A and B are shown apart, each in its own frame.
Chain A
Amino acid sequence: GQQLNQSPQSMFIQEGEDVSMNCTSSSIFNTWLWYKQDPGEGPVLLIALYKAGELTSNGRLTAQFGTTRKDSFLNISASIPSDVGIYFCAGQKYAGGTSYGKLTFGQGTILTVHP
Protein backbone atom coordinates (compact mmCIF):
# COMPACT_ATOMS: atom_id res chain seq x y z
CA GLY A 1 0.00 0.00 0.00
CA GLN A 2 0.91 3.63 -0.27
CA GLN A 3 3.29 4.96 2.37
CA LEU A 4 4.64 8.27 3.46
CA ASN A 5 8.35 8.61 4.05
CA GLN A 6 8.90 10.37 7.33
CA SER A 7 12.32 11.46 8.54
CA PRO A 8 14.23 11.31 10.69
CA GLN A 9 13.18 8.07 12.35
CA SER A 10 14.46 9.28 15.71
CA MET A 11 16.00 12.35 17.27
CA PHE A 12 17.92 12.90 20.51
CA ILE A 13 18.16 16.57 21.42
CA GLN A 14 18.90 18.83 24.35
CA GLU A 15 16.18 20.84 26.00
CA GLY A 16 15.90 24.23 24.35
CA GLU A 17 16.94 23.07 20.89
CA ASP A 18 14.75 23.38 17.83
CA VAL A 19 13.46 20.28 16.02
CA SER A 20 12.59 19.72 12.38
CA MET A 21 11.00 16.70 10.76
CA ASN A 22 9.41 16.11 7.39
CA CYS A 23 7.22 13.81 5.39
CA THR A 24 7.29 13.11 1.66
CA SER A 25 5.04 11.20 -0.68
CA SER A 26 5.07 10.09 -4.29
CA SER A 27 1.50 11.25 -4.70
CA ILE A 28 -0.54 14.33 -3.93
CA PHE A 29 -2.58 14.79 -0.77
CA ASN A 30 -5.33 17.33 -0.16
CA THR A 31 -4.72 17.54 3.57
CA TRP A 32 -1.65 17.06 5.72
CA LEU A 33 -1.94 16.32 9.42
CA TRP A 34 0.58 16.07 12.23
CA TYR A 35 -0.14 13.92 15.28
CA LYS A 36 1.73 13.26 18.52
CA GLN A 37 1.51 10.01 20.43
CA ASP A 38 2.48 9.70 24.07
CA PRO A 39 3.30 6.25 25.52
CA GLY A 40 0.20 4.18 26.15
CA GLU A 41 -2.10 6.62 24.41
CA GLY A 42 -3.59 7.21 21.01
CA PRO A 43 -2.38 9.86 18.56
CA VAL A 44 -3.53 13.40 19.25
CA LEU A 45 -3.87 15.93 16.46
CA LEU A 46 -1.38 18.81 16.62
CA ILE A 47 -1.85 20.68 13.36
CA ALA A 48 -4.01 20.29 10.26
CA LEU A 49 -3.07 21.82 6.90
CA TYR A 50 -5.60 22.18 4.10
CA LYS A 51 -3.98 24.28 1.36
CA ALA A 52 -0.73 24.02 -0.56
CA GLY A 53 1.81 26.46 0.85
CA GLU A 54 -0.14 26.91 4.08
CA LEU A 55 1.94 27.66 7.18
CA THR A 56 0.19 27.06 10.51
CA SER A 57 1.38 27.42 14.09
CA ASN A 58 0.19 25.89 17.34
CA GLY A 59 2.23 27.37 20.17
CA ARG A 60 5.84 26.32 19.66
CA LEU A 61 4.86 24.07 16.76
CA THR A 62 4.83 25.22 13.14
CA ALA A 63 3.88 23.07 10.18
CA GLN A 64 3.85 23.74 6.46
CA PHE A 65 1.97 22.17 3.57
CA GLY A 66 4.46 21.82 0.73
CA THR A 67 3.74 23.69 -2.48
CA THR A 68 3.90 20.48 -4.52
CA ARG A 69 1.29 18.94 -2.16
CA LYS A 70 3.62 15.95 -1.82
CA ASP A 71 5.35 16.95 1.38
CA SER A 72 4.96 18.60 4.75
CA PHE A 73 7.25 19.84 7.49
CA LEU A 74 6.93 20.17 11.26
CA ASN A 75 9.14 22.37 13.40
CA ILE A 76 9.24 22.53 17.18
CA SER A 77 11.00 25.50 18.70
CA ALA A 78 12.70 25.63 22.11
CA SER A 79 11.97 21.99 22.96
CA ILE A 80 10.97 20.97 26.48
CA PRO A 81 10.94 17.53 28.15
CA SER A 82 7.19 17.08 27.62
CA ASP A 83 7.75 17.20 23.84
CA VAL A 84 8.99 13.61 24.12
CA GLY A 85 6.89 11.19 22.11
CA ILE A 86 6.30 9.87 18.62
CA TYR A 87 5.28 12.35 15.93
CA PHE A 88 3.33 11.12 12.93
CA CYS A 89 2.51 12.82 9.68
CA ALA A 90 -0.60 11.76 7.84
CA GLY A 91 -1.95 12.56 4.40
CA GLN A 92 -5.57 12.61 3.40
CA LYS A 93 -7.12 12.49 -0.06
CA TYR A 94 -10.57 13.54 -1.18
CA ALA A 95 -11.38 10.66 -3.47
CA GLY A 96 -15.08 10.95 -2.96
CA GLY A 97 -17.56 8.27 -2.03
CA THR A 98 -16.36 5.68 0.44
CA SER A 99 -12.72 6.78 0.14
CA TYR A 100 -13.46 10.05 1.82
CA GLY A 101 -11.49 10.74 4.99
CA LYS A 102 -8.96 7.90 4.95
CA LEU A 103 -5.51 8.71 6.30
CA THR A 104 -2.13 7.39 5.22
CA PHE A 105 0.45 7.61 8.00
CA GLY A 106 4.20 8.04 8.04
CA GLN A 107 6.35 5.68 10.06
CA GLY A 108 6.79 8.18 12.88
CA THR A 109 9.65 10.19 14.38
CA ILE A 110 10.66 9.26 17.93
CA LEU A 111 11.70 12.38 19.80
CA THR A 112 13.81 12.25 22.97
CA VAL A 113 14.59 15.46 24.84
CA HIS A 114 17.37 15.48 27.39
CA PRO A 115 16.94 17.99 30.24
Chain B
Amino acid sequence: NAGVTQTPKFRVLKTGQSMTLLCAQDMNHEYMYWYRQDPGMGLRLIHYSVGEGTTAKGEVPDGYNVSRLKKQNFLLGLESAAPSQTSVYFCASSPLRAHSNQPQHFGDGTRLSIL
Protein backbone atom coordinates (compact mmCIF):
# COMPACT_ATOMS: atom_id res chain seq x y z
CA ASN B 1 0.00 0.00 0.00
CA ALA B 2 1.42 3.38 -1.01
CA GLY B 3 -0.29 5.56 1.63
CA VAL B 4 1.15 9.07 1.36
CA THR B 5 3.78 9.60 -1.33
CA GLN B 6 5.94 12.70 -1.56
CA THR B 7 8.09 13.76 -4.50
CA PRO B 8 10.87 14.64 -4.76
CA LYS B 9 12.68 13.15 -1.77
CA PHE B 10 15.61 15.56 -2.00
CA ARG B 11 16.16 18.89 -3.73
CA VAL B 12 18.72 21.68 -3.68
CA LEU B 13 17.66 25.11 -4.88
CA LYS B 14 19.30 28.46 -5.30
CA THR B 15 17.83 31.51 -3.57
CA GLY B 16 15.04 32.95 -5.68
CA GLN B 17 14.21 29.77 -7.58
CA SER B 18 10.74 28.31 -7.49
CA MET B 19 9.55 24.75 -7.14
CA THR B 20 6.56 22.61 -6.30
CA LEU B 21 6.47 19.73 -3.85
CA LEU B 22 4.00 17.01 -4.69
CA CYS B 23 1.95 14.93 -2.27
CA ALA B 24 -0.36 12.11 -3.25
CA GLN B 25 -2.51 9.87 -1.06
CA ASP B 26 -4.47 6.79 -2.09
CA MET B 27 -6.61 6.40 1.04
CA ASN B 28 -9.46 8.67 -0.09
CA HIS B 29 -8.78 10.97 2.85
CA GLU B 30 -10.57 14.31 3.04
CA TYR B 31 -7.93 16.26 4.92
CA MET B 32 -4.40 16.92 3.80
CA TYR B 33 -1.61 18.89 5.46
CA TRP B 34 1.83 20.28 4.80
CA TYR B 35 4.31 20.58 7.70
CA ARG B 36 7.89 21.65 7.98
CA GLN B 37 10.28 20.10 10.47
CA ASP B 38 13.24 22.01 11.82
CA PRO B 39 15.69 20.88 14.53
CA GLY B 40 14.31 21.35 18.03
CA MET B 41 10.95 22.66 16.83
CA GLY B 42 8.88 19.60 16.05
CA LEU B 43 6.52 19.83 13.10
CA ARG B 44 4.81 23.11 12.26
CA LEU B 45 1.77 23.34 10.04
CA ILE B 46 2.23 25.39 6.88
CA HIS B 47 -1.09 24.99 5.06
CA TYR B 48 -3.87 22.46 5.10
CA SER B 49 -6.93 21.45 3.14
CA VAL B 50 -10.25 20.09 4.31
CA GLY B 51 -11.36 19.01 0.86
CA GLU B 52 -10.89 19.30 -2.87
CA GLY B 53 -10.69 22.89 -3.96
CA THR B 54 -10.23 24.31 -0.44
CA THR B 55 -7.07 25.39 1.38
CA ALA B 56 -6.30 27.28 4.57
CA LYS B 57 -3.29 28.80 6.31
CA GLY B 58 -1.56 27.02 9.13
CA GLU B 59 0.95 28.27 11.66
CA VAL B 60 3.78 29.27 9.28
CA PRO B 61 2.24 30.00 5.82
CA ASP B 62 4.41 32.91 4.66
CA GLY B 63 6.44 32.21 1.52
CA TYR B 64 4.34 29.18 0.54
CA ASN B 65 1.28 28.54 -1.57
CA VAL B 66 -0.80 25.39 -1.95
CA SER B 67 -3.38 23.91 -4.24
CA ARG B 68 -5.81 20.99 -3.95
CA LEU B 69 -7.26 20.57 -7.43
CA LYS B 70 -7.80 16.84 -6.93
CA LYS B 71 -8.79 15.09 -3.72
CA GLN B 72 -5.78 12.80 -3.79
CA ASN B 73 -3.16 15.50 -4.44
CA PHE B 74 -1.91 18.43 -2.37
CA LEU B 75 0.79 20.65 -3.86
CA LEU B 76 3.12 22.96 -1.95
CA GLY B 77 4.77 25.76 -3.88
CA LEU B 78 7.70 28.01 -3.15
CA GLU B 79 7.55 31.01 -5.47
CA SER B 80 10.93 32.50 -4.52
CA ALA B 81 12.97 30.19 -2.32
CA ALA B 82 14.87 31.65 0.64
CA PRO B 83 17.56 30.03 2.83
CA SER B 84 15.12 30.15 5.77
CA GLN B 85 13.00 27.64 3.91
CA THR B 86 15.69 24.99 4.16
CA SER B 87 13.87 22.25 6.02
CA VAL B 88 12.31 18.83 5.82
CA TYR B 89 8.76 18.99 4.53
CA PHE B 90 6.14 16.42 5.44
CA CYS B 91 2.77 15.86 3.92
CA ALA B 92 0.02 14.12 5.86
CA SER B 93 -3.56 13.10 5.31
CA SER B 94 -6.44 12.09 7.56
CA PRO B 95 -9.97 10.79 7.14
CA LEU B 96 -13.04 12.98 7.66
CA ARG B 97 -13.58 11.78 11.20
CA ALA B 98 -10.80 12.25 13.76
CA HIS B 99 -11.94 9.22 15.74
CA SER B 100 -10.08 6.58 13.81
CA ASN B 101 -7.17 4.35 14.67
CA GLN B 102 -4.78 6.41 12.57
CA PRO B 103 -5.89 10.03 12.45
CA GLN B 104 -2.96 11.26 10.33
CA HIS B 105 -0.75 9.36 7.94
CA PHE B 106 2.57 10.94 7.04
CA GLY B 107 4.77 10.69 3.97
CA ASP B 108 8.50 10.10 4.24
CA GLY B 109 9.39 13.74 3.72
CA THR B 110 11.14 15.99 1.21
CA ARG B 111 14.54 17.31 2.21
CA LEU B 112 14.94 20.78 0.72
CA SER B 113 18.11 22.88 0.86
CA ILE B 114 18.19 26.48 -0.30
CA LEU B 115 21.64 27.87 -1.07
Which residues of chain A have a CB within 8 Å of any CB of chain B? Answer: 1, 3-4, 6, 9, 31, 33, 35, 40-45, 48, 50, 88, 92, 94, 98, 100-103, 105-108
User: Which chain A residues lie closer than 8 Å to B108 at the CB level?
Assistant: 40-42
Q: Give CA–CA (A45, B3) in the complex, Å.
A: 14
| Given known contacts A42-B4, A43-B43, A107-B40, A98 and B106 CB-to-CB distance under 8 angstroms | no
B84 an interface residue at 8 Å Cβ cutoff?
A: no
Please determine whether A105 and B98 come into contact, CB atoms closer than 8 angstroms.
Answer: no
| Given known contacts A31-B98, A42-B4, A42-B109, A101 and B44 CB-to-CB distance under 8 angstroms | no
Given A45-B103, A107-B40, 17 additional A-B pairs, CB 8 A: A1-B60, A40-B108, A40-B109, A41-B109, A42-B4, A43-B43, A43-B90, A43-B106, A45-B102, A88-B43, A98-B54, A98-B56, A101-B98, A101-B104, A102-B45, A103-B33, A107-B42
B90 to chain A, nearest CB (A): 5
B31 an interface residue at 8 Å Cβ cutoff?
A: yes
What residue in chain B is nearest A4 (Cβ atoms)? B42
Please determine whether B106 and A44 come into contact, CB atoms closer than 8 angstroms.
Answer: yes
User: Which chain A residues lie closer than 8 Å to B4 at the CB level?
Assistant: 42
Please determine whether B48 and A102 come into contact, CB atoms closer than 8 angstroms.
Answer: yes
Q: Which 3 A-B pairs have the closest CB atoms?
A: A42-B106, A105-B42, A1-B59
Please determine whether B54 and A42 come into contact, CB atoms closer than 8 angstroms.
Answer: no
Please determine whether A103 and B109 come into contact, CB atoms closer than 8 angstroms.
Answer: no
